[in-house]
């Protein structure tokens, strides 16, 4: 095959174990689209320095002599690769492979994607911390103990029992939010089920805390 750029004879060479037809004069190379994809993925790992911008050129396919179709690699890279759709091959000019590799590594779109992913992960971690507190058994139990002590000190045994009875529901919500959320069809003795849909565990836990802290709020209101 002759070089579509300068007309010299192409030489079959091995590149990363792939067969490529290379021109010794202008350093262009011809390879299949599949091999091209393979080379790009490898080049990502050891990208070289950026070469001067390459422009679209009009050349013919070295195999079938049809005009090659230039396309802007990745649409915004500024690297124009000449492709033959008949032979499913690409003609790379000198330095184009390296340019594509550096574009892929330093692409603003890729960097934005990486940033967005990083922020999402950080937000997820923050939420995980909040959930830990939300479902904290130690924290809710401490509040419960304060209630029970206050009750027994101010109202004796009967107040203690009332307080304990009150604490059952909010503590159940905070300690077992997922199990409580799956309770469907609770009727509270009203005949018709009050809870008809599954509730996400986090909502159940929030509800438990509101219930647990409500006496404090009421107390603070009247004091
Ligand atoms: Zn050449
Ligand atoms: Zn062709």
Let me know whether 214 and 164 are in one domain.
Answer: yes
C-beta contacts of 217-223 below 8 A and 24+ residues apart? none
Q: How far is the CA of 216 from the centre of ligand 1 (A)?
A: 84
Let me know whether 101 and 154 are in one domain.
Answer: no
Q: How far is the CA of 183 from the centre of ligand 1 (A)?
A: 75
Let me know whether 202 and 155 are in one domain.
Answer: yes
93 pLDDT tier (thresholds 50, 70, 90): confident
Q: Which of 89, 106, 123 is the last residue of a domain?
A: 106
Q: How far is the C-alpha of 222 from the C-alpha of 148, rounded, in Å?
A: 20
Query: CB-based contacts of 204: which residues, under 8 Å, 6+ apart?
Result: 173, 177, 178, 180, 181
Provide mean pLDDT across the span 18-47. 79
* Range of the structural domain that residue 45 is part of: 11-106
Q: How far is the CA of 25 from the centre of ligand 1 (A)?
A: 5
Q: Is residue 56 part of a domain?
A: yes
Is the pLDDT at 17 greater than 60? The verdict is yes
Which strand ranges, in their side-by-side order, compose the sheet holding 11-15?
Answer: 11-15, 18-22, 29-32, 89-92, 80-84, 69-72
55 pLDDT tier (thresholds 50, 70, 90): low
- Rounded to 5°, the CA angle 16-19-25 comes to 95
Query: What pTM was estimated for this model as a whole?
Result: 0.41
Let me know whether 140 and 197 are in one domain.
Answer: yes
Query: CB-based contacts of 75: which residues, under 8 Å, 6+ apart?
Result: none
């Amino acid at each position: 095959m002759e070089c579509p750029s300068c007309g010299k004879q192409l030489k079959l060479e091995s590149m990363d174990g792939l067969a490529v037809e290379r021109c010794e004069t202008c350093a262009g190379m011809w390879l299949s689209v599949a091999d091209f994809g393979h080379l790009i993925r490898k080049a990502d790992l050891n990208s070289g320095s950026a070469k001067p911008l390459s422009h679209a050129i009009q050349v013919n396919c070295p195999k079938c002599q049809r005009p090659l179709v230039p396309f802007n690699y990745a649409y915004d890279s500024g690297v124009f690769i000449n492709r033959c759709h008949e032979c499913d091959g690409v003609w790379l000019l000198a330095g184009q492979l390296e340019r594509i590799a550096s574009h892929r590594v330093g692409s603003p779109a890729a960097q934005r994607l990486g940033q967005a992913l990083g922020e999402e992960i950080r937000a997820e971690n923050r939420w995980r911390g909040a959930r830990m507190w939300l479902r904290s058994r130690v924290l809710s139990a401490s509040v419960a103990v304060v209630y029970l002590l206050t009750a027994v000190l101010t109202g004796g045994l009967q107040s203690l029992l009332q307080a304990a009875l009150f604490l059952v529901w909010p503590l159940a919500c905070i300690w077992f939010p997922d199990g409580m959320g799956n309770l469907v069809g609770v009727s509270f003795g009203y005949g018709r089920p009050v809870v008809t849909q599954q509730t996400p565990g986090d909502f159940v836990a929030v509800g438990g805390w509101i219930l647990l802290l409500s006496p404090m709020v009421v107390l603070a209101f009247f004091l």
